[in-house]
Amino acid sequence: MTTVPRGNGDDSSSSGVSAPDGYTADTGSMVSQAQAISDAVEEAQPEAENLGATEVAGADFGIAHAERAAGYTAAVRTLGEGAMAMCGSLLALAGSIGGAGEQYASAEAEQQSSVNQSGSGL
């Protein structure tokens, strides 16, 4: 945020805070970050696939707690399903970011071409 000092001929009714210049979309950065997300998901996905499988059986809980085994197994399976769903969502997000970056790059190239052609006949 940029502040403007008071008393330098500026309008005294202004807040002293300049508006931001705006947001930019760096198409190369969007595509590379999308790839980084995809790579991280692909690295984590095998672990997520194995997360839902448990080798713990009712007997492993002991006599007093054997009835808790079914709940534990179901919870671990749900955790694994959630991890896989998160991987899928992150891959979809990466695809959207990468696709948007490619669309921005294409639109910028198209606009640049239009601008260059508009003055070529002068």
The pLDDT of residue 60:
76
- What is the mean pLDDT of the segment spanning 35-50? 94
The pLDDT mean for the chain works out to 81
Report how far residue 46's alpha carbon sits from residue 80's, in angstroms, rounded to the nearest whole number: 11
- What is the mean pLDDT of the segment spanning 106-122? 80
In this predicted structure, the answer to whether residue 94 has a pLDDT above a threshold of 80 is yes
More confident residue, 122 or 31: 31
The pLDDT of residue 53:
81
Instruction: For the chain, give the percent of residues with pLDDT over 70.
Output: 80
